[in-house]
Amino acid sequence: MGIIFHESTKTFHLFNDTISYIMMVLENGHLGQLYCGKTIRDREDFSHLLEVYSRVMSPSIYDDRHFSLENIKQEYPVYGSSDFRHPAIEVLQENGSYISDFVYQSHQIMKGKPVLKGLPATYVEEDAEADTLIVTLKDELTGVVLELSYTIFAESGVIARNARVVNEGEKTVFLNRVMSLSLDLPDCDYDWIQLSGAWARERNPITRKLTKGVQAVESMRGHSSAQQNPFMMLKRPSTDEFKGEAMGFSFVYSGNFQIQAEVDAYEVTRVLVGIHPEHFCWKLEQGCSFQSPEAVMVYSDQGLNGVSQTFHKLYRHRLARGIWRDQARPILINNWEATYFDFTEEKLLKIASKAKECGVELFVLDDGWFGKRTHERAGLGDWVVNPDRLACGIDGLSEKIEALGLKFGLWFEPEMVNKDSDLYREHPDWILSVPGRHASQGRFQYVLDFSRKEVVDRIYEMMSKILRESRLSYIKWDMNRSITECFSNGYPADQQGEIFHRYILGVYDLYERLTSEFPHVLFESCASGGARFDPGMLYYAPQAWTSDDTDAVERVKIQYGTSMCYPISSIGSHVSITPNHQLNRNTPLHTRANVAYFGTFGYELDLNQLTEEELEEVKEQIQFMKKYRDIIQDGTFYRLQSPFDCSDAAWMVVSHDQKTAIIGWYRTLNRVNESYTRIYPKGLNPEFCYKNSITGVSAYGDELMYAGMSTSDSSSGADMPEIKELMGEDYASRVYVLSAE
Ligand code: DGJ
């Protein structure tokens, strides 16, 4: 790995064994993009890759027509001085002009990776893990300075970027957009993959051909959203899950975002990743700076799985932090679907005792324990226990739960307030809303103005008091509505364009304070399920409630899509009761567990409602998860067969020593007189002989990977009544463990 600067050609080459990223200072002082892809050998001069040709009708910078920004691949383009594509930055100046001209000044190459203050970002533990280049450019007329930061990680095809803007001029400017990443690719022969959805069906992958014009995913909801995830992948048309070139773009941010690809007339593709420019306007006074969040780009020639595995490793080990980062996640039981708001201490303790009997490790008390919160219309904002429900308080309940031998976890929704709450009655101006206008509600609640420090301080006080006084090992941090009427009473008119971003900074600030003061607490983020499942959250909370949809069949799709970017250790997944509360569907208990294993694993039901036989099954499931969770949560994950392509889906994880592989196989509807079916496991050691836990058949890794592993069951005529797993049924599933003998 290294970063080379060729003085004679003013060329930067960032490279490791997987990727080369090359750019140069152009004739006009801007930064040009030369190459981004598989590693190529270094040379002094790559300028021929720039393709600076003159085209009729293109305005040019100089008077000989040879240099038009419209036709040049750039690193951090501006609009309006011969480039008409969407820019990376727009600086509005006192005279109303938004034209700027960022010219190279200097650069710095350093070991390691600087910290982004106040923002989530990937990090290194040793300087040798990454190198960073910071290129400084300046717009002479305004004195606005731009620092573009590029970090290349040693081990994989990762480049992390951010931009910092400093006003060294004399006049205030307004930043209308500051994207975190801009990349011009020389062609558009790509398929675009995005993760889209809605409540209860988050992150379904959608693939389409990249085409001329602009295509984008974005959120303007104030949070990253269930509708679109801040992630996008470009793959070559021939690339599949296992081979071929692909590039993933991920934004380490939890608020409004935009990820866009613009294909121009000559099929050059410009990728932009950053804070959504709509409703964003940052006032930058003399001497002040603005720091963009981080965008991460991953390149792989090992197909989509190659990109995903790179993200998994990076985000699990160098984005998530704290003592929980590397630990197996506790198997939890959450009371939400078991009781909703209808609980008493006695009921909770009964659920907890049965859970303990089955081997569960952590009991989580969900919504409804505080203020007047016996229903959705009251209590949010009053983070003090409701003594009518829990006479012995959270401290008392947590002691009782711990006495049962379980850890105790608690639900909060720190960013919200109900009008029926003491907090709102005391501070009605603390919600985001426009004076004189109606304030829209969502689930009968309002969004607290986290752009104001005093608001964050107050919530911090209430939460930290409970954390100090009780035995809390876990917090589920929920967020159940999007932001409307985004306006803060704490800021003047010319700073209202900052509020969406300042709100998220306030959320990060509260997370930072709580996670550093209570490092032993495991945080799980949540937003009506997976409406804020993004890398920004993972920096503070190493796991996230993936979806409110706990139906096994739907969860295969949701978890399959989520795995495109996010590590298995981050995927909150529970076994719930049937008929399922979201879909009214009945799936077998083992199928619900077989899906939930590929995540953090837990239960979301009252185990007292199960039969003795089912309870025995639950005990076995928990034993299974305890035995294999290290491998599942930290192994190498492969998507094998997509639930979106056919009714059979499969995925697997392989341990680092390749001695154990765990395959999850799922079928929606049973079939009759079916063809033979098989899957092709990946990542095995060809030399190892693996025993199949279901069929008992032993086979070498090469045979399994190349000849395939049969998944045929009774629906294909496999007549093995002694193997109950091979009896076909609707919503069938199997977990095969392949163990090297
Ligand atoms: C939405 C979450 O996704 C659920 O799991 C649950 O915590 C409810 N909120 C509680 O209000």
CA 546 to chain CA centroid, nearest Å: 10
The stretches in the chain having pLDDT less than 70 are none
- Which residues, at least 6 apart from 425, have a Cβ–Cβ distance to it below 8 Å? none
Query: How far does residue 447's CA lie from ligand 1's centre (Å)?
Result: 16
Atom of ligand 1 nearest to the CA of 366: 7
Q: In testing the pocket of ligand 1, which one of 548, 576, 581, 582 has its CB within 8 Å of the most ligand atoms?
A: 548
Mutational pocket test of ligand 1: of 480, 524, 546, the residue with most ligand atoms within 8 Å of the beta carbon: 480
Q: How far is the CA of 572 from the centre of ligand 1 (A)?
A: 13
**Centroid of ligand 1 to alpha carbon of 198 (angstroms):** 15
660-667 sheet: strands from edge to edge: 636-641, 648-654, 660-667, 733-740, 689-692, 698-700
Ligand 1: list residues with CB < 6 Å. Answer: 336, 366-367, 411, 478, 480, 526, 528-529, 545, 548
What's the gap in Å between 449 CA and the centre of ligand 1?
21
Q: What ligand 1 atom has the least distance to the C-alpha of 526?
A: 3
- What pLDDT shows up at residue 720? 82
Under 8 Å between Cβ of 222 and 180: no
Is residue 736 within 8 A of residue 651, CB to CB? The reply is no
Can you give the pLDDT at residue 56? 86
pLDDT score of 1: 87
- Pocket test of ligand 1: the residue of 337, 418, 444, 526 to mutate, having most ligand atoms within 8 Å of its CB, is 526
- Closest CA to ligand 1's atom 9: 528
Q: What is the sign of the dihedral through the CA atoms of 724, 624, 571 and 581?
A: positive
- Distance between CA atoms of residues 169 and 95, nearest Å: 14
CA 52 and chain centroid, separation: 38
| Top mutation candidate among 332, 342, 366, 413 for ligand 1, by most atoms within 8 Å of CB | 366
- Rounded to the nearest angstrom, the distance between the alpha carbon of 105 and the centre of ligand 1 is 51
> Going by CA atoms, what residue is nearest to atom 11 of ligand 1?
367
Q: How many angstroms does the Cα of residue 276 sit away from the middle of ligand 1?
A: 27
CB 661 within 8 A of CB 652: yes
Establish whether 264 is a catalytic residue: no
Residue from 131, 548, 549, 648 carrying the catalytic annotation? 548
Is 366 known to be catalytic?
Answer: no
Question: Closest ligand 1 atom to the C-alpha of 529?
Answer: 3
Q: From 598, 603, 589, 687, select the one nearest 637 (Cα to Cα).
A: 598
Cα Rg of the chain, angstroms: 27
- Please tell me the distance between residue 340's alpha carbon and the centre of ligand 1 in angstroms: 9
SS3 category, 49? helix
Q: Which atom of ligand 1 is nearest to the CA of 336?
A: 6
694, 726 Cβ separation under 8 angstroms: yes
Centroid of ligand 1 to alpha carbon of 527 (angstroms): 8
Tell how far the Cα of 409 is from the centroid of ligand 1, in angstroms. Answer: 14
Residue 695 is given by DSSP the state T
Active-site hit among 478, 549, 634, 713: 478
Question: What's the token pair of residue 496?
Answer: 């209202």
Contact between 263 and 269 under an 8 Å Cβ cutoff? The reply is yes
- Sign for the CA dihedral angle at 631, 633, 637, 640 comes to positive
Q: What per-residue string of b and e applies to 139-166 under the rule 16 or more CB within 10 Å gives b? A: beebebbbbbbbbbbeebbbbbbbbbbb
The pTM assigned to this predicted structure is 0.98
Ligand 1 mean position, distance from CA 336 (Å): 7
- The answer to whether the beta carbons of residues 350 and 397 sit under 8 Å apart is no
Mutate to test the pocket of ligand 1, among 343, 532, 545 (most ligand atoms within 8 A of CB): 545
Burial degree of 91 (CB within 10 A; 0-12, 13-18, 19+): buried
